[in-house]
Structure 1
Amino acid sequence: MLKSSFPPVVAPNTRLLVLGSLPGDRSLAEARYYAHPQNQFWRLMSPVVGRDLHTLPYEDRLAALLARGIGLWDVVASAHRPGSTDAAIRDIAGNDIAALATSLPELQAIAFNGATAAKHGTRLLAGLEIERIALPSSSPLHTVGLAAKQPAWDALKPFVIPGLSRDPG
């Protein structure tokens, strides 16, 4: 079955772009990034932005990321994939992440959520000089626990817009 990614979630002040591979079936069904309740993305990003994203409504999660200079997208524009595992992705058409990256004047780094995103994203960014950060996957299929993944994800903190007050909401 051919599956396609969502549009990028970015703003002119995006300093960090976090790229996944391709949304899973639950995310596609709900038209939301990282919609599967066992995916650890929102929990991993919470300490990075200094706010509990997991408990917020989806639109507020996105707004909180954008307010801190963090954008989201996927490396894969479309591919055939039965189910949700990255290992099953075939016939990949990549997103033009290099064009997006060059359109963001404050972009300082691109982070890859998992090995598949890093593998294909690195190829799509060939020739573009920008810091790249490989992260352990937030997927529940990646069996490393949240606590073991968090230090790698905490490396994103320097790219978050400094000096913004934490919204207690």
Structure 2
Amino acid sequence: MAAKHALDPVVAASSRVLILGSLPGDASLKATQYYAHPRNAFWPLIGGLLSEPLPALPYEERLDRLKARGVGLWDVIASAERTGSLDAAIRSPEAADLRGLVGSLPDLSAIAFNGGLAAKLGRRILGDLEGVVLIDLPSSSPAHAISLSAKAESWAILGDFLPD
């Protein structure tokens, strides 16, 4: 089983919300793009929240729009062994330097965990963090089988932490 490694963080110094996944799936790793699987709801969810047509934009423009709107992306796992893309298959996870990244973001007001494993591991690392709200979100993955509208309802809380 080969080790898989996280992508680089996507943040600006002005990031107010940091969305943390667990570890990119195979489609994302192959494309070197966050949330590259066509059935992953991340881009429709965050695009709807920001009232931006993110799914229709080229990837680099999506990232530029996120940073401009105060949203950052990364993962709680720096590397792990995993066959396939499911979180349940992750073995020997190595934690990302979340505290180091958070310390570099002076305007950060919320950290959102995209899915259960991200929340479980992220809260172990950041659970005692002061001045930043930690939010557990339903996973944007197609493997988390709740409706897009139910996911969007939960994800809407992120709007409370973003500038207009």
Q: Is the TM value for this pair above 0.5?
A: yes
TM-score in terms of structure 2 length = 0.96
Secondary structure of 1:73's aligned partner: strand
- What is the CA distance between 1:127 and its match in structure 2? 2.5
- Residue 157 in structure 1 maps to residue 162 in structure 2: no
Give the 5 Å matches for 1:65-80. Answer: 65-80=66-81
AA partner of residue 155 (structure 2): W
After the TM superposition, list the runs of 4 or more consecutive aligned residues in structure 1 that deviate by more than 2 angstroms: none
Secondary structure of 2:56's aligned partner: coil
RMSD: 0.8
- Contact map agreement 1:114 1:138 (CA 8 A) in 2: yes
- Residue 119 in structure 1 maps to residue 102 in structure 2: no
- What is the CA distance between 1:23 and its match in structure 2? 0.3
- Contact map agreement 1:42 1:54 (CA 8 A) in 2: yes
Give the 5 Å matches for 1:44-63. Answer: 44-63=45-64
Secondary structure of 2:18's aligned partner: strand
Matches of 1:63 and 1:24, distance apart in 2 = 22
Matched residue, 1:167: none
Secondary structure of 2:27's aligned partner: helix
- What is the CA distance between 1:126 and its match in structure 2? 3.5
Matched residue, 2:102: 101
- What is the CA distance between 1:161 and its match in structure 2? 2.1
Matched residue, 1:40: 41
**1:31-64 per-position Cα deviation (integer Å, ceiling 9, x unaligned):** 0000000000000101221111111110011011
Matched residue, 2:86: 85
**1:127-159 per-position Cα deviation (integer Å, ceiling 9, x unaligned):** 211200100000011111101111111110122
Identical amino acids, percent of aligned pairs: 53
Matches of 2:52 and 2:66, distance apart in 1 = 10
- Between structures 1 and 2, the one with greater helix share: 2
TM-score in terms of structure 1 length = 0.94
